[in-house]
């Protein structure tokens, strides 16, 4: 039975929302984060939302001694692994940094898990492993065709986890959660996406333009084969995504058939273009979002949205929030935290 969960990257955007879901479910949460792209003040916000403060350790997952000490003290029953660099464009510019950080941190974490007989892992993967897939919606059996180093690191870690699970089936159960595009924020407005510099994701960039922090939105590509020429993505509310991790843990805890290592899409099954998101934001915020169409980004694909039937069947999970919820919650977060969490 799972009582204590270690969350790597737990002060980040997705990790903080996962911590909230776990704490609300009555689980004990231990967060490990090096704070390279987040703030320790997130811990206080999580406590305000849930009434419970998670344990927190500032540490890098590549630091084996630090991880060993944390495991020795808290003895987690399962791990949710989110720590890693995550920007597609940056990975194309700095591929070595991505391979060094993402692969090494995962290797060290798994070694420590094995040393402490922790046999349940939920891995934060990505829909970028599918690359430019022609058939939509994309399901978990689709051929992987990665178009950028970030996605390649995710795919390499997936393969590594599959190999480890096959080699030691009695000791290792893994859920490979392939996220589509997380958006929105906790409905309290206390936690949300808080990029340290120029946002890499659409929603926080649109939010910052709407509130006047940035002058204009750059829309990367207006000549895609889509209805309005802009890229189409499956946006999923971050709170729905967080709940998916809780259901994945419950599923792993119930598994008796081994080996157990499954890739599972987490999305809504609905695609929205960049300009559709901009329009929704303008309507809900009442603010204009001026934009310029610029060149495509390296590694981006035209259309990507999920077949979510496997998550429904295995995890009994479905996204409950729609684009309006995502935009409303993202705007509330931006208005309440114009300078982020400080």
pLDDT at 57: 98
Shortest CA distance to 324 belongs to which of 282, 269, 267, 275? 282
Q: What is the pTM (predicted TM-score) of this model?
A: 0.96
- pLDDT of 316 > 80? The answer is yes
The strand pairing partners of 218, in sequence order, are 292
**Residue indicated by tokens 């986890």:** 161
Distance of alpha carbon 337 from alpha carbon 342, whole angstroms: 9
Residue 326 and residue 235: Cα distance in Å, rounded? 8
- Tens-place pLDDT, residues 73-129: 999 999 999 999 998 889 999 999 999 999 999 999 999 999 999 999 999 999 989
State how far the Cα of 222 lies from the Cα of 228, in Å rounded to an integer: 7
Residue matched to tokens 């703030």:
39
pLDDT of residue 278: 97
Q: Which stretch of 38-47, 198-207, 329-338 has the lowest confidence by average pLDDT?
A: 198-207
- Residues carrying an active site annotation: 150
User: Residue 79, SS3?
Assistant: strand
Q: What is the pLDDT of residue 118?
A: 96
Confidence of residue 341 (pLDDT cuts 50, 70, 90): confident
pLDDT attached to residue 342: 78
pLDDT: is 244 or 88 the higher one? 244
Residue 111 dihedral angles phi and psi, to the nearest 5°: -60, -40
């Amino acid at each position: 039975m799972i009582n204590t969960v270690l969350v790597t990257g737990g002060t980040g955007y997705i990790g903080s929302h996962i911590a909230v879901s776990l704490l609300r479910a009555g689980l004990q949460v231990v967060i490990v984060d090096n704070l390279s792209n987040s703030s320790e003040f997130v811990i206080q916000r999580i406590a305000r939302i849930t009434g419970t403060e998670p344990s927190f350790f500032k540490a890098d997952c590549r630091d084996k001694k630090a991880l060993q000490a944390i495991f020795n003290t808290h003895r987690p029953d399962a791990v949710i692994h989110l720590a890693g660099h995550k920007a597609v464009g940056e990975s194309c510019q700095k591929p070595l940094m991505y391979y060094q950080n993402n692969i090494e941190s995962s290797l060290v974490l798994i070694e420590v898990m094995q040393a402490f007989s922790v046999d349940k892992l939920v891995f934060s993967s990505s829909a970028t492993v599918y690359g430019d897939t022609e058939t939509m919606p994309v399901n978990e059996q689709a051929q992987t065709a990665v178009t950028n180093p970030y996605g390649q690191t995710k795919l390499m870690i997936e393969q590594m986890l599959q190999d480890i699970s096959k080699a030691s089936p009695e000791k290792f159960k893994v859920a490979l959660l392939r996220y589509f595009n997380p958006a929105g924020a906790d409905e309290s407005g206390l936690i949300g996406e808080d990029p340290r510099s120029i946002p890499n994701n659409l929603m926080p960039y649109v939010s910052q333009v709407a509130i006047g922090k940035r002058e204009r939105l750059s829309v990367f590509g207006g000549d895609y084969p889509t209805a309005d020429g802009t890229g189409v993505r499956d946006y999923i509310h971050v709170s729905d995504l967080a709940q998916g991790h809780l259901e994945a843990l419950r599923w792993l805890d119930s598994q008796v058939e081994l080996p157990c290592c499954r890739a599972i899409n987490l999305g809504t099954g609905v695609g929205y273009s960049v300009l559709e998101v901009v329009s929704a934001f303008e309507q809900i915020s009442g603010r204009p979002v001026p934009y310029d169409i610029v060149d495509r980004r390296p590694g981006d694909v035209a259309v990507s949205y999920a077949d979510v039937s496997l998550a429904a069947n295995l995890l009994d999970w479905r996204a409950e929030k729609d684009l309006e919820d995502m935009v409303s919650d993202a705007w509330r977060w931006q208005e309440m935290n114009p300078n982020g969490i400080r």
